[in-house]
Structure 1
């Protein structure tokens, strides 16, 4: 029989946990509103400009040219990336392709090479390369892994029984692939295509080096040359509108179809297709892809290092850039992961409409291009909080807005694996809710937190636009130093910075590849 005292002992920890959940929701709400600051800034700038002036600045020939460039870039790049990624995923996951594990890793490794380093490498091989054609080719080799990762994981998770049933009804293998496999890849394809599209809209260094004008290059040129805030803000408004169009297209293409099966599915692995006489012709695709995406950067950087000799390794300058990069990646990665803890905990422990709404705010904010985030924080700090202008706090806040979903995904998966009863038991022993959370869930979810820090740091290391506009005076990260030297046509001097960025990004990229394999059960 339970006594009144026992009931009080049980009720008190429950009230404390409920109070902690309320505080966590408040913190998550505050962070979500902070993350939506760039979107609010764009709307505020439009209203302050006035509709007449805004109309003149938006509907002008220059904006039309940039819009055409953007549409053509997305229209060519995304379909090519889709075909390439699906082909590579099918070869490495569903066939007896020799060295499939190696080719799988080499299909992800290009993520370790920043997009602007890809551009630098291709220009080093073909100096006259520029314009739309160059933009599409380099964008494909730089960004196709964003589609390969989810598609290859989806291939590993498909139920082979569905394909067997379709084949038993008389469908040929191509028809089975088209009518059964491709529909199940829709979520992966839409998500990867959206990610590539957002990168195409926000990328600066890649297109600036090949002299291909986009909204991002135009905004930064406007900001750096004339500091014409009104014109830059209106370009940012159009850029944000393009992001919303991509988000809407992705949601429409994704549809409302259900992709989950009711049973456990087939326990066996999918049937492996024997390539036979097509083995060597099929090998040409991963070989050519690795050559274009990894071979060209390796050859170009190696050639410039040899041409520059030992003189390009200015230990003091390179060492300072490396130190500042690692420091800002560590601080930014830890801060971003810490900011993701409240909403990750709520999405797992308190999955309500409110928590889902806040989580959606984070993803919406992260879709904003870095240049828009930087413009918002520059304007806010200059007009309202001038002491924060060009400080570490401002640049870390920008990283939190841009890369928080990377940490959120890893944290949410780890917290879901920690039994909630451990928190309740710690609270029942008299520990405060924060102490109970720290001593149980946070510690057991540490591997996921470490992965979140690593993934956020990978994005920070390769980030250029926001860092250039917000970093404190005297900051010279590897990306900033590299871009400054290439702007001076000192390609040999830029080679050590490119090499270091790749070397330090490679382990983080391997972690991303390992996580995708682990999630998919391999």
Structure 2
């Protein structure tokens, strides 16, 4: 079922592009404009992903494994940019840059402006899984390396990071797919990418076939990225919470801890300070309309309703796939997981149009209902749910399920009484992440929302598109505030806490004694 939902946009693309024939497809692909769009899109994705990996991994290590001051506060603050939609961030950066620019004719736009904005609001996709993985990694291997004379940097590069490579690669995959599918920031900052070209062609209505051809090329790029990611993930060890009985010792950075603090402050101020200044300025300008409060309330209810339905439907579809990936790894489970990612790399407008076609031709009772919009969210954000469930299920010991089955419990009862409770933390985290992301989704919401229904994202876009920033400010503020709640919950549930420092590394004798004790305890529990 989950695979069928993920394949709806792909089936729509194949059907529509196939109507024009292979020759028409090649004529559109083999052009200088397509080459330029591909180069710009891939280069932007590469730059942003590299920056996200640097910021995400670095900040995760500083928060979980160093004695940098204020780590507990930064553990939450570093995740909050995830609550800011890219189009809101782009508008606020343009607004602040116009206010402070020395030359009034200079506008904050272009490739590097988009790279900065997308990096600042995408790096949490790397930071959160890497920080959670670092918390769960058993420090014994690092302590053995240090006791053998390896330096701290050498241990970090050769022992610690390889253990969390799946989290790094998975976060990088989400970042690169997010950048390829982003529409809001690149449109506002005037960067020609595949997504902007597709949306422009659809909205203008002059070349729908060409837009679908570009979208199909984006699918092919996503397939190549998924193949490369699969090879990289299989090359690294998977992290696990098993045998972790104590936190790792916090590294003493000495005077360099202040440099780490400065880096974290810079990231937080840039990501959160600029939108805060801009939104405060917009709010100070006042709002227009006597029924502004009523429209704001209706939009908030619309956002909450659609996002909640989308999160529930997504997790219902993601649960069997995630458990299959964790409990029965193989070609089938890997193929199902990769299929879920294909639609995640598509522009929301393509997913929206495919579901409009699906609703009109296949599921007419769903057309113009909130459930069709929820189905679009499930199609777009299914990988977020699958990843959360698979991670939680892989952390849970399968021996408990095997013991229940050996006692004569039916498979359905084992799932209900053992597997599901063990996976609930992942289900909750996945639901919060999908809910958060659905609240920010714009193109699919614009196409699929029922007539008369508004969301915070659509009202915000309508106001900012015509330069009515004062009217847009309340919608942006409420959207960010509501999205910050699941972001905070995700951070707290992930177990990201500052490392317990002030403990000396174990000597080889102590390490052997502790390892033996752990093994004995495991034997007793078994």
TM-score by length of 2: 0.83
Change (3 A) 1:279 1:361: closer
- CA separation in 2, counterparts of 1:170 and 1:441? 43
Match of 2:134 among 148, 155, 165: 155
| Match of residue 275 from structure 1 | 253
The answer to whether the aligner puts 1:39 opposite 2:4 as a matched pair is no
Provide the secondary structure at the position in 2 that maps to 1:453: helix
Mapping of residues 117-516 of structure 1, within 5 Å: 117-127=88-98, 128-226=107-205, 228-259=207-238, 267-308=245-286, 314-344=292-322, 357-382=335-360, 388-411=366-389, 413=392, 449-516=427-494
Moved more, 240-249 or 142-151: 240-249
Partner deviation per Cα, 1:197-218 (whole Å, 9 max, x = no partner):
0000111111111111211111
CA distance in 1, matches of 2:70, 2:471: 36
Residue by residue, what CA displacement relative to the aligned partner does 1:66-87 show, whole Å, maximum 9, x if unpaired? 1121122122211122112222
Deviations 1:250-290 (A, max 9, x none): 223334344569x9667443232222222323211111111
Distance in 1 of aligned mates of 2:147 and 2:330: 43
Q: Secondary structure at the match of 1:376?
A: helix
C-alpha displacement at 1:169, in angstroms? 4.0
Q: Quickly say closer, same or farther: Cα 1:343–1:152, change in 2 above 3 A.
A: closer
C-alpha change, 1:519 and 1:255, in structure 2 (3 Å) is farther
* Greater shift in the superposed pair: 451-460 or 137-146: 451-460
Q: CA deviation at 1:503?
A: 0.8
Summarize deviations over 1:73-124 as a string: whole Å, max 9, x none.
1222111221122221221112111111111111111111111111111011
| Residues 221/134 of structure 1: CA separation in 2 closer, same or farther (3 Å cut) | same
Q: How many residues align?
A: 488
- Give the 3 Å change call, closer, same or farther, for CA 424–121 of structure 1 in structure 2: farther
Deviations 1:203-262 (A, max 9, x none): 11111111112111111111111253211110111111221222122223334344569x
Q: Taking structure 1 as reference, are residues 252 and 344 closer, same or farther at Cα in structure 2, changes over 3 Å only? A: closer
Deviation per residue, 1:118-139 (Å, 9 max, x gap): 1111011013100101111001
Checking the alignment, whether the CA contact within 8 Å between 1:423 and 1:440 is kept in structure 2 is: no
Corresponding residue for residue 32 of structure 2? 61
With 398-407 and 157-166 compared, the bigger mean Cα shift is at 157-166
SS in 1 for 2:494: helix
Change (3 A) 1:519 1:435: farther
Q: How does the TM-score come out when normalised to structure 1?
A: 0.83
Residues 312, 493 of structure 1: 8 Å contact kept: no
1:85 aligns with 2:56: yes
Which residue matches 1:22?
none
Residues in 2 aligned to 1:111 and 1:240: alpha-carbon distance in whole angstroms: 25
The answer on whether the counterparts of 1:312 and 1:492 sit within 8 Å (CA) in structure 2 is no
User: Do the aligned partners of 1:157 and 1:520 also contact (CA within 8 Å) in 2?
Assistant: no
1:13 match: none
SS in structure 2 at match of 1:474: coil
Residues 1:54 and 1:359: Cα distance change in structure 2 (over 3 Å): closer
| C-alpha distance in 1 between matches for 2:132 and 2:418 | 31
1:488 deviates by 0.3
Q: 1:313 to 1:239 in 2, by over 3 A?
A: farther
Gaps of 5+ in 2: 99-106, 501-526
Q: Which residue of 2 aligns with 1:19?
A: none
| Most deviating of 134-143 and 466-475 | 466-475
* 2:516 corresponding residue in structure 1: none
**Structure 1 unmatched runs, 5+:** 1-29
List per-residue Cα deviations over 1:477-499 (Å, max 9, x = no partner): 10011011110011111111110
* Counterpart contact for 1:305–1:312, Cα < 8 Å: no
Matches of 2:413 and 2:232, distance apart in 1: 44
The residue matched to 1:504 in structure 2 has which SS? helix
Per the alignment, do residues 94 and 136 of structure 1 end up closer, same or farther by CA in structure 2, a change over 3 Å counting?
same
- What is the rounded CA distance, in whole Å, between the counterparts of 1:36 and 1:240 in structure 2? 12
Q: 1:423–1:441: 8 Å Cα contact kept in structure 2?
A: no
Query: Considering only aligned residues, what root-mean-square deviation do their CA atoms show, in Å?
Result: 3.3
CA contact (8 A) 1:57 1:234 kept: yes
Q: Distance in 1 between matches of 2:229 and 2:38?
A: 19
